[in-house]
Amino acid sequence: MKQDILLESGINELEIVIFKVGSSTLGVNVAKVECILTYQPLTEVPNSNGNISGVINYRGRVIPVLDLIKTLKQDCPKQPQERLLILININNSDFAVEVSSVSGIRRLSWKDIETPSSILLSQNATPITGIVKANDEIILMLDFEKILSDIDPSLALKESRAIKGLEGKKLVVAEDSTFLLKVVNESLLKAGATVEKFSNGKDALDFLEQSSVDEIYCVITDIEMPVMDGLTLTKQIKTNPKLKSIPVVLFSSIASDGLAHKGLSVGADAQITKPEIEKLVELVINLR
C-alpha cells in the first residue's frame, strides 16, 4: 500500500483504512499502514503473549502478528485462511494485525473525528482514540499504541529523568491522549518548564494567537489529533508572521524517517518518534 496518498501536508485531512474485526467496524490512519496481506502461514512462538498469534516471514523480515480478534474479544466465523493481515508501522515498530475483512479507504477531515467520551475510555474498554460517524455506520479509530504497550510495557511512554534545563521556559503541548499528555507534562515540569496543555491543534493555535510570542519557548505537538492535526497546526504557526519564529517539535508515533518529509514540508523544526521522551526533552532543552 502506498502510504503517501495525501501528497499535501497541513490540510487537516487524512486517509483511513476501514476494516472489520468480528462485528466491529474499525479504522487506522493510512500513514501507519505498510500493506494489506492475504493469509500467511504463521509460526507460533512458545510462551509469547496470549494476544500474539505468532510470526510471519515477510520479505525477509520476521513480523509478529497480533490476534486482534482475540484482543478485542470478538467472534469471527471466518477461518484463519480467509482473514487478512494489516501490516502496521508505529513507534519504529513493525507488526501485523489479523482482521476479518477490509472494506476500503476513506478520506476524512480531522474535524470529522470526535474525541471519545470518558465512559468509552474506561480501563477495560476497547482502546480507541476517536469516533467517526459515517452515514449509519460508526467507525472506531483504534489506539494501537495503547494495545502495543499493554502487550510490551517497554514500548510505553515513560517519564523523562531530566531534572533541569527548562527553568523559566513556557511550552505549549498539543496531545490528544490524556495519558501521554500527563507523562509529557510531568517530564517537562520536572525539567523546570511551565506547560500549557491542549488536546487538539485548534485550541493550541487559539492560545498562541492570543499570547505574547516572546513568552513561548516552543510548541510540542502530536500529529494525529481531532479537530486540527499537528501538521496543520505547524503550518498555521509557520505561515503566521506573528508566530513563525516559535520552534515547533513534532512528537508522534508516525514521525518516522519515511514520513519525515511531511513535517519538513510544513516547517517543523524537529521530529521525534514516540515513545522517545528522553530524546524529546533533551532536544527541547538544547533547542535554543
User: Does 129 map to a domain?
Assistant: yes
Indicate whether 172 and 103 sit together in one domain. no
pLDDT in tens, 244-272: 999 999 999 887 666 678 899 999 999 99
- In this predicted model, which residue has the larger pLDDT, 92 or 6? 92
pLDDT in tens, 192-236: 999 999 989 999 999 999 999 999 999 999 999 988 999 999 999
Residues 6+ apart with CB under 8 A from 109: 12, 13
- Residue 33 corresponds to which cell in the numbers above? 499502514
pLDDT in tens, 11-49: 899 999 999 998 889 999 998 999 999 988 899 998 888
User: Does 277 map to a domain?
Assistant: yes
Indicate whether 66 and 194 sit together in one domain. no
**Four-residue CA torsion sign, 262, 108, 34, 175:** positive
Site of grid cell 489479523:
98
Indicate whether 147 and 276 sit together in one domain. no
Q: Would you say residue 182 has pLDDT above 80? A: yes
User: Does 4 map to a domain?
Assistant: no
User: Does 3 map to a domain?
Assistant: no
Q: Which of 103, 130, 153 is the last residue before a domain boundary?
A: 153
Q: Would you say residue 277 has pLDDT above 60? A: yes
Indicate whether 107 and 190 sit together in one domain. no
Site of grid cell 476524512:
108
Q: Which of 153, 184, 210 is the last residue before a domain boundary?
A: 153
Distance between CA atoms of residues 251 and 222, nearest Å: 5
Q: Would you say residue 121 has pLDDT above 70? A: no
Q: What dihedral do alpha carbons 280, 285, 286, 288 form, nearest 10°?
A: 120
Mean pLDDT of 49-73: 88
User: Does 210 map to a domain?
Assistant: yes
Q: Which of 125, 153, 181 is the last residue before a domain boundary?
A: 153
Q: Would you say residue 120 has pLDDT above 70? A: no
* pTM above threshold 0.75: yes
Structural domain count of the chain: 2
Is the separation of the CB atoms in 84 and 102 below 8 Å?
Answer: yes
Indicate whether 245 and 230 sit together in one domain. yes
Indicate whether 233 and 113 sit together in one domain. no
Instruction: Report the 10 Å Cβ neighbour count for 48.
Output: 13
Q: Would you say residue 130 has pLDDT above 70? A: yes
User: Does 7 map to a domain?
Assistant: no
Mean pLDDT of 114-128: 70
Indicate whether 227 and 269 sit together in one domain. yes
User: Does 161 map to a domain?
Assistant: yes
Indicate whether 72 and 194 sit together in one domain. no
Its domain, for residue 66, covers 13-153
Indicate whether 223 and 184 sit together in one domain. yes
**What confidence score (pLDDT) does residue 198 get?**
95
